[in-house]
Amino acid sequence: MIKTIIDKLLGKAPAAPRSRKPRFGKREEVPVQVHGIDPQLVDRRAVDVVQTLKSAGYEAYIVGGAVRDLLLGLRPKDFDVATNATPEQVKSLFRRAFIIGKRFRIVHVVYGRGRENEVIEVSTFRAFLDNSQAEAVSGNERTSKAQLASMKHAVDASGRVLRDNVWGPQDQDATRRDFTINAMYYDPETQIVVDYHNGIADAQKRVLRMIGDPATRYREDPVRIIRAVRFAAKLSGKGFKLEPKSAKPLVECEPLLADVPQSRLFDEMLKLLQTGHALASVAQLKALGLSRGIYPLLDVVMERAGHPFVQAALTDTDRRVGEGKPVAPSFLLACVLWQDVKTGWEKKLAQRMHPFPALQEAIDEVFDARIGDVSGRGKLAADMREIWVMQPRFDKRTGATPFSMVAQPRFRAGFDFMRLRADIGEVDESLASWWQEFQQADDGRREDLIAQARDEQRARQRAQQQSEPKVHRVARSRAGREGVTPLQSPQEAEDGSLLDQAAAATHDGTMSDGGTPKKRRRRRRKPGGGGAQADSSSSVS
């Protein structure tokens, strides 16, 4: 700087500036002969969106993770499109298109209906803006809505981007993306990949590298910390590793996640655990020093990841995703929190509470302590509750209970839960096998299975009676005359009846307003003979 001033005073011409690498990267158009993407792996609906936009005179490309997966020879599950058309212009070109989001406004173009429904997400090229060019907003996204209302680009005091709806050219759009392998654009018509940050080279080297200064990028959006873990886990099987420079700031930037809305963190946690790489995600979190602090419920998963039941649930989730089967967050979280429910239930039973109210109270306490206030908690809690309440009912295999059980909408989830319990030895394997056969059998075979279960129960009762001292047999015989099953005390019989009635009431709507099962009126028998008189006299004595 001093030299420049002296040169100006002496009238010398300034030296020619040194050639610099373009700030937003150099555009490279890579042909199909180099990148080798198979067009057959590209979703026809994504191609239709690109062609429609290009026909209207706009630029349009498949972008992001879909291009990364295509380069690796994988069939992407989701396709995103980037264009220079604004959200309003995109919406006008499609019959079923919806503008969503405030933080980042994007368009969802919908194809098909029902289960065949497919959404192509279309975003507009965005400008890359430094924090110095943005308007700072105090607080976080939830408490700053009034201040954000008139802004297109804003950051909070920590540097986190709260709103980014400033459109710009493609090279700036590429720079504002996170990893180099996620910042490539593919044109399915010309089959050219546009690459600004050596994404193809990094993909070949199996390197996950953040664009720009990693610490700054994590401050802009702390959720990138979780995304870094997720991508490292997803691509670890392909030999990818997080670049050391990109991994170094993760731990020091982790506290920034405290300002991210809980609902968003909850969704990101589910992506970690339900995209087919749950076990790999747990391993990456440990390796990167992020075992605690991201999200309270994720801390519980990390603490219990080595427990046989939770490990079995994570393994089963990865397997189902790999086989293209659906997975539900309620099932996985029910497995993770079963230990809490079981412990709370046992404590309340020890306090002589009736089983069903004790189970419901234990479940409520777990929800309050672990789930918190997240979007969709009502549906999530209802599904988890049904899975847990079903577990004691699997022990009853006589009467009408098995038929009512298999007719319940959540039976399969409850059975799969019990099946995992059997796999780790918490439930007898024969019980799981019986229910496996029962649900697949016809009515005749089901009646045979119930008779078989009844015979097994009677055989166990006889064996136990024979092994008991005479005084116990007399007591049980008396209990039998009083209407209690031979293997139960009067208290146990009452508890078991209440549990079964109340658990069934969660499905047939016979619960009272207080949440306890309605009592059934007993019909009193009129005394009509010696037997009745004898019973009456014995009860009086």
pLDDT value for 458: 86
Is residue 383 flagged as an active site residue?
Answer: no
Which of residues 456 and 320 earns the better pLDDT score? 320
Cα–Cα distance for residue pair 204/382, rounded to 1 Å: 46
Q: What is the per-residue pLDDT for 140?
A: 58
Q: Which residue has the higher pLDDT, 283 or 356?
A: 283
Q: What is the pLDDT of residue 142?
A: 58
β-bridge pairing 161-164 and 153-156 = antiparallel
Please tell me the predicted confidence (pLDDT) of residue 114.
65
Two tokens, residue 20: 């610099």
* Average pLDDT of the residues in 451-477: 72
Residue 359 confidence (pLDDT): 92
The helix, strand and coil proportions of the chain, stated in percent and rounded to the nearest 5, come to 55, 10, 35
Using the structure block, give the residue that is written with the tokens 């089967």.
325
Helix, strand, or coil (residue 362): helix
**Beta-strand pair 241-242/207-208:** parallel
Q: What is the DSSP letter of 354?
A: -
Q: What is the pLDDT of residue 535?
A: 41
> Cβ–Cβ contacts within 10 Å for residue 211, how many?
22
How many angstroms separate the CA atoms of 423 and 335, rounded?
13
Q: What residues contact 131, with CB distance under 8 A and at least 6 apart?
A: 155, 159, 220
pLDDT (average), residues 331-341: 95
Mean pLDDT calculated for residue range 200-206: 94
Is 123 in contact with 106 (CB distance < 8 Å)? yes
Percentage of the residues of the chain whose pLDDT score is greater than 70: 74
Q: Report the helix count and the strand count for the chain, using DSSP H and E.
A: 26, 13
What pLDDT does 368 receive? 85
Distance of CA 166 to the CA centre of its chain: 32
Give the CA count within 13 Å in the CB-facing half-sphere of 455.
Answer: 6
Does residue 525 register a pLDDT over 80? no
Residue 155 has pLDDT above 60, yes or no: no
Residue 272's alpha-carbon distances to 277, 281, 285, 291, 525, in angstroms, are 7, 6, 10, 13, 62
Query: SS3 of 244, please?
Result: helix
Which of 26-30, 466-470, 515-519 is the least confident region?
A: 515-519
Token reading at 467: 């092994």
Q: What CA–CA distance (Å, rounded) separates 221 from 228? A: 12
pLDDT, position 13: 47
Catalytic member of 178, 316, 318, 500: 178
The mean pLDDT value for 227-232 works out to 95
Backbone angles phi, psi at 467, to 5 degrees: -85, -10
Q: Which residue has the higher pLDDT, 22 or 315?
A: 315
CA dist 431 and 433 (Å) reads 5
Which one from 80, 171, 316, 318 is the annotated catalytic residue?
Answer: 80
* pLDDT number for residue 456: 85
- Which residue bears the tokens 């709260």? 162
pLDDT value of position 77:
87
Plot region of 259 (φ>0 → left; ψ -120 to 50 → alpha; else → beta): alpha
Q: CB under 8 Å to 308, separation ≥6 — which residues?
A: 424
Task: Give the CA distances from residue 111 to residues 81, 85, 121, 123, in Å, rounded to whole numbers and listed in that order.
Answer: 14, 20, 11, 17
- The pLDDT-based confidence of 506 (bands split at 50, 70, 90) is very low
Both structure tokens of 479: 């209990």
- 238-248 pLDDT, tens digit each: 999 999 999 99
Q: In this predicted structure, which of 61-65, 217-221, 378-382, 515-519 has the lowest mean pLDDT?
A: 515-519
| pLDDT at 492 > cutoff 50 | no
Residue 56 contacts residue 62 (beta carbons within 8 Å): no
Of residues 48, 78, 259, 267, which has the active-site annotation? 78
| CA nearest to 287, candidates 318, 247, 246, 235 | 247
Please provide the DSSP assignment of 504-527 as one string.
Answer: HHHHHS-B-TTSSBPPPPPPPPPP
Given a cut of 50, whether residue 503 has pLDDT beyond it is: no
- 78 assigned to active site: yes
- SS3 readout for 120-163: EEEEECECCCCHHHCEEECCCCCCCHHHHCCCCEEEECCCCEEE
In this prediction, residue 186 carries a pLDDT of: 97
Task: State pLDDT tens for residues 161-178.
Answer: 666 667 889 999 999 899
- What is the C-alpha separation between 288 and 208, in angstroms, rounded? 14
Q: What is the pLDDT of residues 175-202, one digit of tens each?
A: 989 999 999 999 999 999 999 999 999 9
The type of residue at 147 is Q
Q: Say how far residue 219 (Cα) sits from the centre of its chain.
A: 25
Paired with 123 in beta bridges are 82
Supply the pLDDT for residue 447. 92
31-61 per-position pLDDT tens digit? 999 999 999 999 999 999 999 999 999 999 9
- Residue type for 273, please? L
**Mean pLDDT score of the chain:** 81
- 159 SS3 class: coil
